[in-house]
Amino acid sequence: MFILSKEIVFPAVESADEDGLLAIGGDLNIERLLLAYRSGIFPWYNEADPICWWCHNPRFVLFPDELKISKSMKSLLNKNEFHFTINKAFHEVIDNCKTSFRKGQDGTWIDNNIVNAYTKLYNLGYAISAETWLGNELIGGLYGIRLDTIFFGESMFSKKSNASKFAFIHLVKKLQKENTALIDCQVYTSHLESLGARMIERKTFISILNKNIVAEP
Protein backbone atom coordinates (compact mmCIF):
# COMPACT_ATOMS: atom_id res chain seq x y z
CA MET A 1 0.00 0.00 0.00
CA PHE A 2 1.36 3.40 -1.01
CA ILE A 3 1.55 5.80 1.94
CA LEU A 4 1.56 9.46 0.96
CA SER A 5 4.08 11.91 2.41
CA LYS A 6 4.18 15.71 2.31
CA GLU A 7 5.24 15.49 -1.33
CA ILE A 8 2.33 16.23 -3.69
CA VAL A 9 2.43 13.02 -5.73
CA PHE A 10 0.31 9.91 -6.32
CA PRO A 11 1.27 6.46 -7.58
CA ALA A 12 0.07 5.25 -10.97
CA VAL A 13 -3.65 4.53 -10.87
CA GLU A 14 -3.00 1.04 -12.24
CA SER A 15 -1.43 0.16 -8.88
CA ALA A 16 -4.78 0.45 -7.07
CA ASP A 17 -5.98 -2.79 -5.49
CA GLU A 18 -9.01 -4.71 -6.78
CA ASP A 19 -11.33 -2.55 -4.68
CA GLY A 20 -9.86 0.64 -6.13
CA LEU A 21 -7.85 1.72 -3.09
CA LEU A 22 -4.71 3.46 -4.33
CA ALA A 23 -3.05 5.16 -1.36
CA ILE A 24 -3.55 6.34 2.20
CA GLY A 25 -2.38 9.36 4.17
CA GLY A 26 -1.37 12.79 3.03
CA ASP A 27 -3.69 15.75 3.48
CA LEU A 28 -6.52 17.64 1.81
CA ASN A 29 -4.67 20.73 0.71
CA ILE A 30 -5.83 22.34 -2.50
CA GLU A 31 -2.82 21.40 -4.62
CA ARG A 32 -3.13 17.73 -3.67
CA LEU A 33 -6.88 17.64 -4.27
CA LEU A 34 -6.59 19.23 -7.70
CA LEU A 35 -3.83 16.80 -8.69
CA ALA A 36 -6.00 13.93 -7.46
CA TYR A 37 -9.02 14.91 -9.54
CA ARG A 38 -6.93 15.57 -12.64
CA SER A 39 -5.51 12.08 -12.19
CA GLY A 40 -8.89 10.39 -11.70
CA ILE A 41 -8.39 9.94 -7.95
CA PHE A 42 -10.69 10.99 -5.12
CA PRO A 43 -10.62 10.88 -1.29
CA TRP A 44 -13.15 8.70 0.53
CA TYR A 45 -12.74 7.50 4.10
CA ASN A 46 -14.45 7.05 7.45
CA GLU A 47 -14.19 9.92 9.88
CA ALA A 48 -11.85 8.15 12.34
CA ASP A 49 -9.60 6.66 9.64
CA PRO A 50 -6.64 8.08 7.70
CA ILE A 51 -7.43 9.64 4.32
CA CYS A 52 -7.94 6.96 1.68
CA TRP A 53 -7.49 7.72 -2.03
CA TRP A 54 -9.38 5.73 -4.66
CA CYS A 55 -9.42 5.07 -8.39
CA HIS A 56 -11.89 2.30 -9.20
CA ASN A 57 -11.88 0.02 -12.20
CA PRO A 58 -14.34 0.08 -13.82
CA ARG A 59 -15.48 3.67 -13.19
CA PHE A 60 -19.10 4.73 -12.84
CA VAL A 61 -19.82 7.76 -15.05
CA LEU A 62 -22.54 9.59 -16.92
CA PHE A 63 -22.07 10.97 -20.41
CA PRO A 64 -24.34 14.05 -20.36
CA ASP A 65 -26.07 13.15 -23.63
CA GLU A 66 -27.05 9.76 -22.13
CA LEU A 67 -29.16 11.30 -19.36
CA LYS A 68 -32.37 9.34 -18.81
CA ILE A 69 -35.46 11.07 -17.44
CA SER A 70 -38.37 8.90 -16.33
CA LYS A 71 -41.99 9.82 -17.02
CA SER A 72 -42.53 10.65 -13.36
CA MET A 73 -39.51 12.96 -13.33
CA LYS A 74 -40.62 14.62 -16.57
CA SER A 75 -43.93 15.32 -14.88
CA LEU A 76 -42.17 16.81 -11.86
CA LEU A 77 -39.90 18.94 -14.05
CA ASN A 78 -42.93 20.36 -15.85
CA LYS A 79 -44.55 21.45 -12.61
CA ASN A 80 -43.70 24.64 -10.74
CA GLU A 81 -43.48 22.90 -7.37
CA PHE A 82 -39.65 22.87 -7.09
CA HIS A 83 -37.11 25.35 -8.41
CA PHE A 84 -33.42 24.98 -9.19
CA THR A 85 -30.36 27.12 -8.49
CA ILE A 86 -26.59 26.90 -8.86
CA ASN A 87 -24.14 28.05 -6.16
CA LYS A 88 -26.80 29.76 -4.06
CA ALA A 89 -26.29 27.60 -0.97
CA PHE A 90 -23.00 25.70 -1.21
CA HIS A 91 -22.39 25.72 2.55
CA GLU A 92 -25.89 24.47 3.27
CA VAL A 93 -25.63 21.75 0.63
CA ILE A 94 -22.37 20.29 1.93
CA ASP A 95 -23.65 20.52 5.50
CA ASN A 96 -26.79 18.59 4.53
CA CYS A 97 -24.69 16.01 2.69
CA LYS A 98 -22.64 15.66 5.88
CA THR A 99 -25.61 15.14 8.19
CA SER A 100 -28.13 13.29 6.01
CA PHE A 101 -29.00 9.72 6.96
CA ARG A 102 -27.93 7.17 4.37
CA LYS A 103 -29.45 3.70 4.31
CA GLY A 104 -26.85 1.04 5.10
CA GLN A 105 -24.33 3.50 6.55
CA ASP A 106 -23.69 4.09 10.24
CA GLY A 107 -22.23 7.53 9.73
CA THR A 108 -20.83 9.94 7.19
CA TRP A 109 -17.54 10.11 5.32
CA ILE A 110 -17.82 13.91 5.17
CA ASP A 111 -15.93 15.21 8.19
CA ASN A 112 -14.94 18.77 9.08
CA ASN A 113 -11.69 18.44 7.10
CA ILE A 114 -13.69 17.58 3.97
CA VAL A 115 -16.05 20.50 4.58
CA ASN A 116 -13.17 22.93 5.03
CA ALA A 117 -11.23 21.65 2.01
CA TYR A 118 -14.17 21.72 -0.41
CA THR A 119 -15.30 25.09 0.87
CA LYS A 120 -11.86 26.40 -0.09
CA LEU A 121 -12.28 24.80 -3.53
CA TYR A 122 -15.65 26.51 -3.81
CA ASN A 123 -14.15 29.87 -2.90
CA LEU A 124 -11.54 29.33 -5.61
CA GLY A 125 -14.18 28.49 -8.21
CA TYR A 126 -13.52 24.75 -8.51
CA ALA A 127 -16.39 23.36 -6.45
CA ILE A 128 -20.03 24.03 -7.30
CA SER A 129 -23.38 23.20 -5.78
CA ALA A 130 -26.77 22.54 -7.34
CA GLU A 131 -29.87 23.14 -5.24
CA THR A 132 -33.55 22.18 -5.18
CA TRP A 133 -35.95 24.49 -3.35
CA LEU A 134 -39.54 24.23 -2.22
CA GLY A 135 -40.44 27.83 -1.65
CA ASN A 136 -37.62 29.16 0.53
CA GLU A 137 -36.70 25.73 1.90
CA LEU A 138 -33.64 23.86 0.62
CA ILE A 139 -34.89 20.31 0.12
CA GLY A 140 -32.19 18.68 -1.99
CA GLY A 141 -28.96 19.18 -3.86
CA LEU A 142 -25.47 18.04 -4.64
CA TYR A 143 -21.93 19.35 -4.88
CA GLY A 144 -18.85 18.45 -6.86
CA ILE A 145 -15.73 19.65 -8.63
CA ARG A 146 -15.64 21.22 -12.10
CA LEU A 147 -12.36 21.06 -14.00
CA ASP A 148 -12.59 22.29 -17.58
CA THR A 149 -15.17 20.03 -19.30
CA ILE A 150 -15.32 17.36 -16.58
CA PHE A 151 -17.63 17.41 -13.55
CA PHE A 152 -16.78 15.19 -10.58
CA GLY A 153 -19.84 14.54 -8.46
CA GLU A 154 -19.16 14.19 -4.75
CA SER A 155 -22.34 13.85 -2.72
CA MET A 156 -26.05 14.58 -2.79
CA PHE A 157 -28.92 14.76 -0.32
CA SER A 158 -32.69 14.81 -0.45
CA LYS A 159 -35.23 15.84 2.17
CA LYS A 160 -38.20 15.18 -0.11
CA SER A 161 -38.81 12.51 -2.72
CA ASN A 162 -36.91 13.15 -5.99
CA ALA A 163 -35.39 16.44 -4.76
CA SER A 164 -31.80 15.33 -5.43
CA LYS A 165 -32.80 13.90 -8.84
CA PHE A 166 -34.43 17.24 -9.67
CA ALA A 167 -31.17 19.10 -8.93
CA PHE A 168 -29.07 16.50 -10.75
CA ILE A 169 -31.18 16.54 -13.90
CA HIS A 170 -31.14 20.33 -14.07
CA LEU A 171 -27.39 20.36 -13.50
CA VAL A 172 -26.80 17.79 -16.25
CA LYS A 173 -28.92 19.83 -18.67
CA LYS A 174 -26.81 22.88 -17.82
CA LEU A 175 -23.61 20.88 -18.31
CA GLN A 176 -24.90 19.62 -21.67
CA LYS A 177 -25.23 23.21 -22.87
CA GLU A 178 -21.66 23.88 -21.72
CA ASN A 179 -20.33 20.92 -23.76
CA THR A 180 -19.28 18.96 -20.70
CA ALA A 181 -17.60 15.74 -21.78
CA LEU A 182 -18.20 13.57 -18.73
CA ILE A 183 -19.73 13.45 -15.25
CA ASP A 184 -17.79 11.26 -12.85
CA CYS A 185 -20.15 9.44 -10.47
CA GLN A 186 -17.23 7.54 -8.87
CA VAL A 187 -18.96 4.41 -7.53
CA TYR A 188 -22.14 2.57 -8.49
CA THR A 189 -25.55 3.55 -7.16
CA SER A 190 -28.90 2.39 -8.52
CA HIS A 191 -30.10 5.99 -8.06
CA LEU A 192 -27.65 7.28 -10.68
CA GLU A 193 -27.91 4.21 -12.89
CA SER A 194 -31.61 5.03 -13.31
CA LEU A 195 -30.50 8.43 -14.66
CA GLY A 196 -28.20 6.92 -17.28
CA ALA A 197 -24.87 6.41 -15.51
CA ARG A 198 -22.84 3.35 -16.52
CA MET A 199 -19.50 1.67 -16.03
CA ILE A 200 -16.50 2.29 -18.28
CA GLU A 201 -12.97 0.93 -18.09
CA ARG A 202 -10.56 2.95 -15.97
CA LYS A 203 -8.13 3.40 -18.86
CA THR A 204 -10.96 4.90 -20.93
CA PHE A 205 -11.89 7.19 -18.05
CA ILE A 206 -8.30 8.40 -17.61
CA SER A 207 -7.98 8.96 -21.37
CA ILE A 208 -11.08 11.18 -21.32
CA LEU A 209 -9.67 13.19 -18.41
CA ASN A 210 -6.35 13.65 -20.18
CA LYS A 211 -8.10 14.97 -23.29
CA ASN A 212 -10.39 17.36 -21.44
CA ILE A 213 -8.48 18.76 -18.45
CA VAL A 214 -5.59 21.20 -18.65
CA ALA A 215 -2.58 19.69 -16.90
CA GLU A 216 -1.96 22.57 -14.48
CA PRO A 217 -4.35 24.77 -12.46
46-69 per-position pLDDT tens digit: 878 899 999 999 999 999 999 999
Report yes or no on whether pTM surpasses 0.85. yes
- How is domain 60-197 classified at the architecture level of CATH? 3-Layer(aba) Sandwich (3.40)
pLDDT band at 216 (very low <50, low <70, confident <90, very high): low
What pLDDT is stored for residue 114 in this prediction? 96
Q: Please, where are the H alpha helices in 52-151? A: 71-78, 90-99, 112-123
List pLDDT tens digits, range 162-199. Answer: 999 999 999 999 999 999 999 999 999 999 999 999 99
What pLDDT is stored for residue 100 in this prediction? 79
Beta bridge partners of 129: 143
164: nearest Cα among 207, 206, 132:
132
CATH code of the region 2-59: 3.30.70.3550
Q: Is the pLDDT of residue 107 over 80?
A: no
What pLDDT is stored for residue 106 in this prediction? 45
Q: In this structure, is the dihedral angle defined by the CA atoms of residues 162, 168, 174 and 176, taken in order, positive or negative?
A: negative
Domain ranges of the chain: 2-59, 60-197
Q: What is the mean pLDDT of residues 75-104?
A: 90
What pLDDT is stored for residue 108 in this prediction? 60
8: nearest Cα among 53, 44, 49:
53
